[in-house]
């Protein structure tokens, strides 16, 4: 499979994703593949092999490792390159030529919707309200979204994250794009709505990828351009990746 692919208009370097995962001390190998979900949306699935010097990892250890890798990828990768799933396997499947069989891995990518349906279901008003918004944005049934369901494991990506923020605001729920990446399960994101918006904004400052001053200047510049786009229509501004920077420098 080609190391460079395109999803939702973004060029994705699968090698960059693999490099971030392999930088974790417990990971021996990592392979990122593109697979098509039930709703036909393309998503990024990653498979890892881990060090087993002290025997097989327990379920709790695997869960913690996956959580660590999810957090690591969100901090080190652009939003649109964060993998939807990270699955630990005993060994990578190989082709007859001895290369990693990416097609076989893509076919093994877990069916997340069915898995999440077995999780805890929302009980509070906010949880059920949030569940309906998620279902609308992800185009899946509310019964498939549990409290422990991750927005990204359910098929969310950078594009649908922006749509989620916009649709939630229409429903009277206010949170930032960065909040979805920090509190990516339904239960976590719903629980944050008990805090004040001011507190949420203060927490957001510590993970802002583009400084407020830079963002303000860019928004002013956009308003000066003679295009059919205003600063009010922009939900967030993200820095370019190293690959994009190299591409621009070659023009």
Per residue in 54-89, pLDDT (tens digit) is 557 777 787 788 888 988 988 888 877 888 788 888
Q: Which of 91, 110, 129 is the last residue of a domain?
A: 110
Q: 65: part of which helix (H) or strand (E)?
A: helix 59-76
* Structural domain containing residue 201: 114-205
Q: Are residues 121 and 106 in the same domain?
A: no
End-to-end CA distance of the chain: 27
Considering only 91-105, 196-210, 226-240, which range has the smallest mean pLDDT? 196-210
Per residue in 105-134, pLDDT (tens digit) is 988 875 544 565 556 788 889 999 999 999
CATH number at residue 183: 1.10.1200.10
Tally of domains in the chain: 3
Q: Are residues 105 and 26 in the same domain?
A: yes
Distance (Å, rounded) from C-alpha 3 to C-alpha 8?
A: 16
Coil/strand/helix, residue 104: helix
Q: Are residues 102 and 196 in the same domain?
A: no
**Encoding tokens for residue 125?**
């008003």
Q: 6: part of which helix (H) or strand (E)?
A: strand 4-7
Model's pTM, two decimal places?
A: 0.55
Q: Are residues 127 and 190 in the same domain?
A: yes
Residue with tokens 């967030």: 236
Q: Are residues 125 and 216 in the same domain?
A: no
Q: Are residues 58 and 93 in the same domain?
A: yes
């Amino acid at each position: 499979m080609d190391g460079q692919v395109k999803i939702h208009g973004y060029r994705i370097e699968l090698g960059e994703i693999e490099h971030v995962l392999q930088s974790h001390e417990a990971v021996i190998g990592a392979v990122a593949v593109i697979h098509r979900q039930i709703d036909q949306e393309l998503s990024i699935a990653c498979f890892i092999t881990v060090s087993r010097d002290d025997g097989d990892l327990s379920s709790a250890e695997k869960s913690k490792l996956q959580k660590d890798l999810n957090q690591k990828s969100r901090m080190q990768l652009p939003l649109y390159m964060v993998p939807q799933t990270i699955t630990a396997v005993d060994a990578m499947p190989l082709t007859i030529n001895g290369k990693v069989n990416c097609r076989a891995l893509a076919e093994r990518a877990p069916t997340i919707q069915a898995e999440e349906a077995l999780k805890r279901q929302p009980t509070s008003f906010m949880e059920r309200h949030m569940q309906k918004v998620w279902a609308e944005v992800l185009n899946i049934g509310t019964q498939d979204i549990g409290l422990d369901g991750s927005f990204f494991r359910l098929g969310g990506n950078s594009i649908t994250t922006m749509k989620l923020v916009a649709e939630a605001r229409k429903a009277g729920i206010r949170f930032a794009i960065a909040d979805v990446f920090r509190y990516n399960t339904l239960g976590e994101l719903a629980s944050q709505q008990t805090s004040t918006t001011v507190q949420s904004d203060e927490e957001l400052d510590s993970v802002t990828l583009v400084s407020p001053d830079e963002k303000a200047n860019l928004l002013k510049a956009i308003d000066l351009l003679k295009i059919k786009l205003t600063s009010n229509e922009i939900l967030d501004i993200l820095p370019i990746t190293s690959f994009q920077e190299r591409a621009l420098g070659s023009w």
